[in-house]
């Protein structure tokens, strides 16, 4: 949380994910936080113990929104994992990550088709400013090999604005 200046709750002595999640929410309420993100351990394979754990956390904390975060580079595995998670949690939407590389994002269409949940955000890097709202038309252009020209122009504009601001501060 240091990079983005947010508090991160951890309970190092506790190995019970449900207890940690509940304690984190209690900590947030006691300290006046109005948003809590519970980030569970990411895994590439689905197993029964993991699904039970995630289901127990979900039942215990009853979140307002549950987002499934998936690596766009895993292809069909991403679709299978999304289906397995949705069968257990009935999540609300998807965050598609690792779209900064050569991946075109075909998993986006497959996941949307299989679980019928919206893709809400995409990740194009590892920093906070690399999370963007998902725009279907831009993804379609990317999948068709036309690139995402609009995002490229927006990033160039942001870079230009930052440079102009630095010049004006001198």
Mean pLDDT of the chain: 81
What lies within 8 Å, CB to CB, of 61 at 6+ separation is 21, 22, 25, 38
Q: Does domain 55-169 have CATH number 3.40.50.300?
A: yes
d(CA 128, CA 125): 8
Q: Where are the domains of the chain?
A: 55-169
Helix ranges (H only) for the chain are: 17-30, 48-61, 76-89, 106-115, 136-143, 149-169
Given this model, what pLDDT does residue 102 score?
53
- pLDDT tens for 16-37 read 999 999 999 999 999 999 999 9
């Amino acid at each position: 949380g240091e990079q983005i200046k947010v508090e991160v709750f951890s309970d190092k002595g506790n190995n019970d994910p449900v207890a940690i999640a509940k304690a984190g929410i209690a900590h947030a309420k006691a300290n006046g936080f109005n948003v809590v993100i519970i980030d569970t351990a990411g895994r590439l394979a689905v197993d029964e113990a993991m699904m039970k754990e995630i289901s127990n956390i979900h039942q215990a904390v009853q979140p307002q929104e549950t987002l499934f975060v998936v690596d766009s580079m895993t292809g069909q595995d991403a679709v299978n994992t999304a289906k397995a998670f949705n069968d257990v949690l009935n999540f609300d939407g998807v965050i598609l990550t690792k779209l900064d590389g050569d991946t075109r994002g075909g998993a986006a269409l497959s996941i949307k088709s299989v679980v019928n949940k919206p893709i809400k955000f995409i990740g194009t890097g590892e920093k906070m400013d690399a999370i963007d709202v998902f725009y279907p038309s831009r993804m379609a252009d990317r999948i068709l090999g036309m690139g995402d020209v609009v995002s490229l122009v927006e990033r160039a504009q942001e870079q230009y604005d930052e440079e102009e601001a630095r010049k004006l501060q001198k």
